[in-house]
A and B are shown apart, each in its own frame.
Chain A
Amino acid sequence: MLAFNFFGATEGGLFDINATLPLMAIQVVALTYILNSLFFKPVGNVVEKREKFVSNNIIEAKNKLSEVKKLEADLLTQLQSARTEAQRIVSEAEDESDKLYKEALELANNEANASKEKTRLEIESQTSAARDQLSKQADDLSELIVNRLILEK
């Protein structure tokens, strides 16, 4: 008893343990239940609901982001294939036009050559004809000269 009674007082003292102890324990247990229903549960519900909401949104955003990335990659491959296709078409068209050009050039060349040849031949024949005529006229003229000389004698 002495241990519970120092600091002098005949009654009480610092270590005076009595029914305050169990009643305080009951009070704290009651407080636990009251605070649980008044504070921990409602606040917990709100906070956890929000945390769920946020994490759901994050997951959703991540899904969307990966979808966007997939679509982007898809588009990129599509773009690349379109580009190569376009390049192929362009080069094909270039080849085609080149061929056509060459063909047309050859055709024109041939035509020009042919007409040149024809003209040359024509000129040649005309030249020979003119020459023939000229030599015939020369013959006639010489015959005429000879005849006149002979007659004068």
Chain B
Amino acid sequence: MFFNSLLTNFAALEVGQHLYWQIGNIRLHGQVFLTSWILLGSLLVFISLGTKKMENDPKGLQNLLEFLWDYIRDLARTQIGEKVYRDWMPFIGTLFLFVFVSNWGGALIPWRLIKLPSGELGAPTADINTTIALALLVSLSYFYAGLSNKGWRYFEYYVHPTPIMLPFKILEDFTKPLSLSFRLFGNILADELVVGVLVFLVPLILPIPVMFLGLFTSAIQALIFATLAAYYIGEAVEEHH
């Protein structure tokens, strides 16, 4: 009996429901775009405020942005290497900021207070479309990075220690975006579901530690995504001897 009611309650969490926007022949998940626009808009406003009046002696918001910039540069430099990290730093940084802002925005803002006709607002990264889009961009980036830096010699990487590696390296090109997208999607969705279910069952106090854990996971996932993207690019541009 209890299990039955749990299931119906679980269904009330509206898993896998979307707010559909129909534009001509194509259909979009509206709630993903709505939240991403709100979050990215606030991110851009925040950054514009911080970079409006840049001084040599940083104050307030500029300090925070410079710390962020330094953090992203260190990430890109350690993974990609001194030679080309500058070209890829904006991309890595954007991935990090996008995933981080999406994850934390999804966890911190009480979206549920806004009622939609169908589906519900939440982290944009809890939608498989978003994470696959990000992962495919990473794949394209490392191919582009490898080919533009080393030309056709990029494909030496596939037979690098021995030609036996060839099938595994080809398989890797498929598993990389798959693991990137599903790791992020799974973690964020699971976090949202766990918090949702707990809030549904015990609305007081108990969900709070889980929410903190969710914030932690969200930050870690952003870092993992950006680090792996940078690592893949670094692997593609690395010179073998």
Interface residue ranges, A against B (CB under 8 Å): 7-9, 11-25, 27-29, 31-32, 34-36, 38-40, 42-44, 46-47, 49-50, 53
Contacts and interface: CB of A to CB of B under 8 A. Distances in A.
Among A15, A21, A24: residue with most chain B CB under 10 A: A24
Interface in B36-85: 36, 40, 44, 47-48, 51, 54-56, 58, 62, 65-66, 69-70, 72-73
Interface residues of B, number: 49
A101 to B, nearest CB: 74
A43 B36 contact: no
Interface in B173-217: 189
A153 B238 CA distance: 165
A147 B129 CA distance: 179
Contacts of A46: 54-56, 58, 62, 66
A29 B119 CA distance: 27
Contacts of A40: 69, 72, 89-90, 93
B27 A19 contact: yes
Interface string B129-149: 110111011000000000000
Contacts of A31: 40, 94, 98
A126 B62 CA distance: 120
Interface of B: 11, 15-18, 20, 26-29, 32-33, 36, 40, 44, 47-48, 51, 54-56, 58, 62, 65-66, 69-70, 72-73, 89-91, 93-95, 97-98, 119, 124, 127-130, 132-134, 136-137, 189
20 contacts: A8-B16, A14-B15, A16-B129, A17-B128, A18-B28, A20-B33, A21-B129, A21-B132, A24-B33, A24-B36, A24-B130, A25-B133, A28-B134, A35-B93, A39-B47, A43-B54, A43-B69, A46-B55, A46-B62, A46-B66
Give the secondary structure class of B's interface.
helix
Contacts of A24: 32-33, 36, 124, 129-130, 133-134
A20 B28 contact: yes
Contacts of A21: 129-130, 132-133, 136
B179 to A, nearest CB: 16
